[in-house]
């Protein structure tokens, strides 16, 4: 019998968050435990035990993880062989011919390719850009390439043939020939069926290098999973997918953790009727921001991780090095914050683990926002003297007090975040000042009011479970599959039937995993985005819900969006570059509600906080779980839970609602 509990588990590099919800009783539970990097399955059981549940009590386990991201960033990737079209083995070396550091000739011009020349093998074949077979696949060269790949000692092979996005038959034949000899084969026509040869090849190689790690972990999960529990993995485009689907497409996990938090912010925005929102997720190393429109995150199909191109549909998160552990220093007299971080080890100086550099967290403690007498998460005690000692050398260099240096440090961090907010709004034709800021993560609610004031935002929401919001995103997200495919159809040669066939084929392929899980077509929803551009342009704009059966209406929509984004539109020929389709099941009914109590403490605890260069201000502190719906608190005030702190400066005000969300009017700086 399937359990009534649903559990979302977000496994980060340092901590694992869990949010559990019983759909029958409405009960919610949440906890945070240390990540077990030595035994991740034991870590999942530890997380469930922290909310007094066993795995066999769980009906659906939704799991997000930074495992794939960390492997890419740390370079812990499997060796890979590459099979490509004859004459194109050097594509990874050539890349886009651009230097990573234009003015640093002492540094390597570009990142080293993942596959060295001795593991690149060629086959004689050629597909044209329209999908026509120009040179049939040569059987002798195929046999030789398979033998070379097998003898190279790798377990994983990437296959990226020229124009395979338009016709995959040669890649499928190569994959079939490799299957009896090697356990892991990645085909570019499945990983990234799009034009841009270098990016498609590099993405396929990166996916192949992750396959042993991800497949091994997924096999462990499936072996440990009780028969009564279903398993879902959170993918980078903001939904859940089966372990079977991600075993062959491991790059779907590359942005799993941040995507879960953004998905949860989308659920909150839809629940509260917010048309445009910006998520602000501030953790220990980075701050991630993302635009959310009509309850859905913006999606980007071209990103980089650790300097490597990654062509996959992913939430369009803008990350900056401004987290709680970001280090401050003077650079030629200018105060800078990040991008380097104290990390989890040794961490900020105030954690008492040997850190000595001044960080954002040290500044927050020195200014009184964090409570030095409070134990965070049960085992982290903050050391105010260590924070002051770390900031003191910086203050002496600046010839100001330690408190003034800490205030300056936070202002610089805020300025970094403002620039990120501008990139996710202005560049998409959105007035960010009219958006609602949804702040979460361990440090997001501390910086939310200064960020909102500086950017001109008039409303902030600190959602329920804000300190473990990615785990909440796992619980509340929809089950979905997303992929983008090159089409290349010009307005002058428009073929409605051909476009419809390409769209229907992509949608059917994405629906297959849901059908295999027993879901009927009547349960599924699909969303389509068309990437369009003027003929000759390099990059496209995205048209949601395009009129693919009416080229005139589609062209009007393209010109209107182009004029909105760039200030002009012409009657020149345009082309449909690609289609991105998402097939999904509806989000589950209901969602967890944060527990609370009937009566609020009246700020009985007091402390002194610095909000400006003058004198410290007496500031009451409240327990978040004790705030009843309708309770209004005017700043200055501090609201705390076990893992996060909300700072309410003078002039700001806060209201709690009946779902555990806190609504903040940032006011002004007076």
Supply the pLDDT for residue 598.
39
Residues with Cβ < 8 Å from 441, sequence gap 6 or more?
Answer: 261, 280, 281, 282, 283, 287, 466, 467, 469, 644
What's the pLDDT band for 3 if we cut at 50, 70, 90? Answer: low
**Whether 568 and 616 share a structural domain:** no
Angstrom distance (rounded) from CA 191 to CA 174: 15
Residue 591 and residue 567 share a domain: no
Rounded to an integer, what distance in angstroms lies between the CA atom of residue 628 and that of residue 611?
Answer: 27
DSSP at 479: B
Pairwise pLDDT comparison (342 vs 6), residue with the higher score: 6
In a domain, 33, yes or no: no
For the segment 59-76, the average pLDDT, to the nearest whole number, is: 81
Residue 13 has pLDDT above 70, yes or no: no
Res. 35: pLDDT tops 80: no
Q: Is residue 601 part of a domain?
A: yes
The whole-number pLDDT of residue 2 equals 55
Contact call for residues 270 and 262 (beta carbons, < 8 A): no
How would residue 298 be classed by pLDDT, with cut points 50, 70 and 90?
confident
Residue with the bigger pLDDT between 107 and 84: it is: 84
Mean pLDDT of 426-437: 86
The whole-number average pLDDT for the span 140-164 is 95
Contact criterion met (CB below 8 Å) for 531 and 579: yes
Residue 594, pLDDT score: 58
**Would 560 be classed as within a structural domain?**
yes
What's the pLDDT score for residue 596? 47
pLDDT at site 144? 96
Q: What is the pLDDT, as a whole number, of residue 327?
A: 85
Q: Is residue 81 part of a domain?
A: yes
- Could you tell me if 519 and 643 lie in one domain? no
The candidate with the shortest Cα–Cα distance to 576, out of 602, 547, 603, is: 547
CA separation for the pair 350, 570 (Å, rounded): 58
Whether 4 is in a domain gets the answer no
Q: Vertex 198, ends 194 and 204: CA angle to 5°?
A: 65
At which of 555, 584, 613 does a domain end?
A: 584
> Considering the chain, what percentage of its residues have pLDDT values greater than 70?
94
> What residues make up the domain containing 149?
73-215
* Domain shared by 464 and 609, yes or no: yes
Same domain flag for 408 and 538: no
How much is the mean pLDDT over the chain?
86
Residue 662 has pLDDT above 90, yes or no: yes
Please tell me whether residues 279 and 404 are part of one structural domain: yes
How far is residue 15's CA from residue 542's CA, in Å, rounded to a whole number? 37
Q: Is the pLDDT of residue 394 over 80?
A: yes
**Quick check: 84 pLDDT over 50?**
yes
pLDDT digits (tens, 9 = 90+) for 432-476: 899 999 999 878 899 999 999 999 999 999 998 888 888 888 887
- What pLDDT score does 593 carry? 60
Tokens 């998160």 — which residue?
Answer: 317
Instruction: Give the model's pLDDT for residue 420.
Output: 86
Out of 212-221, 369-378, 513-522, the most confident range is 212-221
pLDDT computed for residue 599 by the predictor: 41
pLDDT of residue 595: 54
Residue 560 sits in the same domain as residue 520:
yes
DSSP state string for 360-382: HHHHHHHTTSS-TT-EETTTEE-
Domain boundary among 569, 584, 599: 584
Per-residue model confidence (pLDDT) at position 592: 62
Ramachandran angles phi, psi of 525, nearest 5°: -120, 150
Q: What is the pLDDT of residue 378?
A: 57
The token duo for 285 is 């190393």
- Domain-terminating residue out of 148, 182, 215: 215
Q: How many domains does the chain have?
A: 3
SS3 track for 148-186: HHHHCCCCEEEEECCCCCCCCHHHHHHHHHHCCCCCEEE
Residue 159 has a pLDDT of 96
Q: 13 with 66: CB under 8 angstroms?
A: yes
Higher pLDDT, 476 or 529: 529
552 and 604 share a domain? no
Same domain, 557 and 452: no
Identify whether the C-beta of residue 84 lies closer than 8 Å to the C-beta of residue 161: yes
The pLDDT assigned to 558 comes to: 94
Question: What integer pLDDT is reported at residue 80 of this predicted model?
Answer: 95
Residue 669 has pLDDT above 80, yes or no: no
Among the ranges given (106-115, 165-174, 369-378, 506-515), the one the predictor scored with the smallest mean pLDDT: 369-378
Q: Does one domain contain both 556 and 593?
A: no
- Centre a 10 Å sphere on the Cβ of residue 147 and count the other Cβ atoms it contains: 12
What's the mean pLDDT in 289-299?
85
Residues 426 and 520 placed together within one structural domain of the fold: no
Average pLDDT of the residues in 155-175? 94
Percent helix, strand, coil in the chain (nearest 5)? 35, 30, 35
Residue 515 lies in a domain: yes
pLDDT for the residue 274? 93
Same domain, 180 and 293: no
What integer pLDDT is reported at residue 611 of this predicted model? Answer: 92
pLDDT > 90 fraction of the chain, expressed in percent and rounded: 37
Taking the C-alpha atoms of residue 488 and residue 140, their distance in angstroms, rounded to an integer, is: 33
Contact between residue 660 and residue 464 where contact means Cβ atoms under 8 Å apart: yes
**What are the backbone dihedrals phi and psi of residue 523, each rounded to the nearest 5 degrees, phi first?**
-85, -20
Most confident of 192-196, 278-282, 354-358: 278-282
- For residue 231, being part of any structural domain is answered with no
pLDDT tens digit sequence for 224-253:
988 888 888 888 887 777 788 788 888 888
Name the strand (E) or helix (H) holding 600: none
Residue 170 vs residue 309, higher pLDDT: 170
Report the CATH number at residue 499.
Answer: 3.30.1490
Per the CB < 8 A criterion, the answer to whether 284 and 266 are in contact is: no
Question: Residue 51 falls within a domain, yes or no?
Answer: no
Residue 307 in contact with residue 111, Cβ under 8 Å? yes
553-571: average pLDDT: 91
Closest CA relative to residue 384, chosen from 349, 353, 345: 349
Report the predicted TM-score, pTM, of the whole model to 2 decimal places. Answer: 0.78
């Amino acid at each position: 019998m399937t359990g009534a509990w649903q559990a979302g588990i977000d496994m980060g590099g340092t901590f694992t968050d869990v949010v559990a919800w019983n759909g029958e009783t409405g009960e919610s539970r949440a906890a945070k435990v240390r990540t077990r990097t030595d035994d991740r399955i034991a870590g999942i059981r530890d997380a469930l035990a922290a909310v007094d549940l066993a795995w066999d009590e769980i009906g659906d386990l939704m799991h997000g993880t930074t495992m794939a991201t960390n492997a890419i960033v740390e370079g812990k990737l499997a060796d890979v062989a590459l099979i490509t079209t004859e004459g194109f083995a050097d594509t990874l070396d050539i890349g886009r011919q651009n230097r990573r550091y234009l003015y640093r000739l002492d540094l390597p011009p570009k990142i080293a390719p993942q596959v060295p020349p001795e593991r690149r093998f060629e086959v004689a074949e050629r597909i044209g850009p329209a999908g026509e077979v120009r040179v049939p696949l040569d059987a002798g060269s195929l046999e030789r390439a398979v033998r070379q790949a097998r003898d190279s000692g790798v377990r994983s092979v990437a296959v990226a043939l020229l124009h395979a996005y338009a016709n995959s038959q040669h890649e499928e034949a190569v994959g079939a020939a490799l299957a009896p000899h090697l356990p892991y084969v990645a085909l570019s026509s499945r990983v990234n069926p799009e034009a841009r040869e270098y990016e498609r090849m590099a993405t396929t190689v990166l996916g192949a290098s992750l396959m042993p790690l991800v497949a091994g972990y997924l096999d462990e999960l499936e072996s440990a999973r009780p028969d009564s529990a279903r398993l879902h993995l959170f993918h980078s485009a903001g939904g859940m997918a089966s372990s079977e689907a991600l075993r062959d497409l491991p790059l779907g996990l590359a942005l799993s953790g941040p995507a879960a938090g953004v998905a949860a912010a989308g659920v909150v925005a839809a629940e509260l009727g917010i048309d445009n929102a910006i998520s602000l997720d501030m953790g220990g190393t980075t701050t991630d921001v993302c635009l959310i429109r009509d309850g859905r995150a913006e999606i980007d199909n071209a990103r980089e991780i650790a300097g490597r191109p990654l062509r996959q549909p992913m939430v369009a998160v803008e990350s900056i090095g401004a987290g709680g552990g970001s280090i401050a220093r003077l650079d030629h007299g200018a105060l800078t914050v990040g991008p380097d971080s104290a990390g989890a080890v040794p961490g900020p100086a105030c954690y008492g683990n040997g850190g000595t550099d001044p960080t954002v967290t040290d500044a927050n403690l020195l200014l009184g926002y964090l409570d030095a007498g409070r134990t965070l998460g049960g085992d982290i005690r903050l050391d105010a003297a260590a924070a002051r000692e770390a900031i003191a050398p910086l203050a002496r260099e600046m010839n100001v007090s330690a408190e003034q240096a800490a205030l300056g440090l936070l202002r610089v961090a805020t300025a970094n975040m403002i620039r990120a907010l501008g990139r996710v709004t202005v560049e998409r034709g959105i007035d960010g000042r009219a958006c609602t800021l949804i702040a979460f993560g361990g440090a997001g609610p501390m910086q939310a009011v200064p960020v909102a004031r500086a950017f001109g935002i008039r409303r902030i929401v600190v959602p329920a479970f804000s300190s473990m919001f990615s785990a909440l995103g796992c619980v509340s997200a929809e089950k979905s599959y997303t992929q983008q495919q090159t089409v290349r159809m010009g307005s002058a040669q428009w073929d409605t039937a051909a476009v419809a066939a390409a769209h229907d084929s992509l949608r059917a392929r994405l629906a297959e995993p849901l059908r295999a899980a027993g879901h009927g077509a009547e349960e599924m929803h699909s969303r389509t985005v068309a990437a369009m551009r003027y003929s000759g342009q390099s990059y496209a704009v995205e048209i949601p819900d395009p009129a693919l059966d009416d080229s005139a209406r589609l062209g009007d929509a393209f010109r209107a969006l182009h004029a909105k984004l760039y200030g002009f539109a012409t009657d020149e020929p345009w082309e449909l570059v690609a289609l991105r389709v998402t097939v999904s099941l509806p989000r589950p009914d209901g969602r967890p509600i944060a527990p609370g109590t009937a009566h609020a403490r009246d700020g009985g605890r007091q402390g002194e906080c610095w909000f400006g260069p003058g004198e410290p201000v007496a500031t009451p502190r409240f327990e978040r779980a004790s705030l009843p719906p309708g309770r209004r608190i005017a700043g200055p005030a501090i609201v705390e839970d076990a893992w996060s702190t909300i700072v309410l400066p003078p002039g700001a005000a806060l209201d709690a609602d009946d779902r555990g969300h806190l609504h903040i009017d940032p006011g002004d700086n007076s």
